Amino acid sequence: MQQEYTYSRGFRIFVFCLIAPFALVPLLAIGTAMVVRVTSPLETFYGFLAGVPGMALVTYCINELLSVVASDAFSIRYQSFLYHRELLWQEVKGYQLKEGSLVLVPTVTGKRKIKISNRRGKSRELADWVESRYPDLGKISETATVADDKISTVAPYELRIARKTAWVLNITAFVVMMLCFFFLRSLPWLPLILVLLLPVALIALLYHKGQPVFIDRKKEPFPVVLLTIIFSAIGLFVFAVPIFSLALKELWLGALVASGVFAIGIIFAIRHWKTTPAKKAWGVISFIIFCTPAFFESIVYLNTFFDHSAPQLFETTVFDKRISKRKSTSYFLVVKPWGPVTSARSISVGKRRYEVVHVNDMIIMELHKGAFGMPWYTPQLLKR
């Protein structure tokens, strides 16, 4: 006879109330961007980052709360709108007790564990039944098993080369990122190295068949090459702080296309992995989350660095100032329409410039055509 184990309605409502604020973060970010007409790539990136963790958390919680665990005389199944798992009872190797949950460990390679929370109705009855028929496997590391699946067939010397490649990329990206903080004005070509590291990282993944993605580090799969992407993104953001674009749609479209190509390359590189599709999907998604803003800022940099057009100068007036205090304090100058900008815009500035400029002061805007035809501008001289 089939038995279902679900979360109670009261527990679902309670958790939904807890995660509701996280679901509102992306909507608030989009609404704020529309109201204040945000054009700064850095502000856009902050809004993007603010929404990603919240949406990931909300998606995970909703998927878990609406999931159903069903069992009968032949198997046990985990069903949700994101994925479906099933274990025949003869495929169960044993169980683990982790953080108030019962975890069924399979004997079949490629099948995933099934986790049953003790907050599900009648889960205690299922736990007693399992404990009476299967051994307690204790604290067996799931990540060690996954790592073994991925690298067990890799020759030691190939793995050493993959490690060295990953560390060379990471160290290079980290050093250049730090140099960008201190020598960007005197060495404006530094971010170009970070831009080049992005396709180099993809080539390394393809050459080593995805091995640099996850390297055995203290028996835990660790996304080594992902650090190269993160360091490159941070260094490029340092350059993009004072840059404002008039073609955000084109920038995001280019970034998404580049991220799509990168994702296809990763999928091709890890196609030989002996693991579940869910693990492969998570590896690809983790890269896309950081690759998209990195490629966005790469396009901003290339569009600016290779732009040799003569700048156009426009004067505008500051008619308001505001301070945004969230996790960090941001300073904005609200300026009147000027040149191709037909509405008031908020410009993010540093604290020192914010304190120097007053309402009704004149600001000179320097407008450039852009190497890729994407106009960009930056506030230059300030005068009373």
- The values of phi and psi at residue 233, to 5°, are -60, -45
Number of H helices, E strands in the chain: 10, 15
Average pLDDT for residues 156-176, to the nearest whole number? 83
DSSP state of 121: T
- Compute the mean pLDDT over every residue in the chain, rounded to the nearest whole number: 80
Q: How many residues does the structure list for the chain? A: 384
What's the pLDDT score for residue 193?
A: 93
Q: What is the pLDDT of residues 8-23, one digit of tens each?
A: 888 888 888 888 877 7
Q: How many CA atoms lie within 13 A of 1 on its CB side?
A: 1
What's the pLDDT score for residue 298?
A: 92
Question: Residue 303's pLDDT band (boundaries 50, 70, 90)?
Answer: very high
Q: What is the pLDDT of residues 305-317, one digit of tens each?
A: 999 888 889 888 8
Cβ-contact 368, 327 below 8 angstroms: no
CB atoms under 10 Å from CB of 38, counted, come to 22
Percent of all residues in the chain with a pLDDT value above 90, rounded to a whole number? 8
What's the pLDDT score for residue 143?
A: 47
54, pLDDT greater than 80: no
Question: Residue 176's pLDDT band (boundaries 50, 70, 90)?
Answer: very high
What's the pLDDT score for residue 358?
A: 85
206, pLDDT greater than 70: yes
Question: Residue 302's pLDDT band (boundaries 50, 70, 90)?
Answer: very high
Q: What is the pLDDT of residues 240-251, one digit of tens each?
A: 877 888 888 888
What's the pLDDT score for residue 219?
A: 39
Cβ-contact 73, 271 below 8 angstroms: no
2, pLDDT greater than 90: no
157, pLDDT greater than 50: yes
Collect all residues with Cβ–Cβ distance below 8 Å to 253 and sequence separation of at least 6: none
Highest mean pLDDT: which range of 106-110, 126-130, 170-174, 283-287: 170-174
What's the pLDDT score for residue 351?
A: 82
Task: Please tell me the pTM assigned to this model.
Answer: 0.59
Helices (H), ranges, 66-187:
123-131, 142-151, 156-183
Domains of the chain (ranges; CATH) run 1-140 (no CATH), 148-305 (no CATH), 312-383 (2.40.50)
More confident residue, 64 or 382: 64
Cβ-contact 253, 229 below 8 angstroms: no
Q: What is the pLDDT of residues 324-346, one digit of tens each?
A: 776 667 788 888 888 888 888 88
β-strand pairing of 312-325 with 329-335: antiparallel
More confident residue, 121 or 220: 121
373: three-class secondary structure by DSSP:
coil
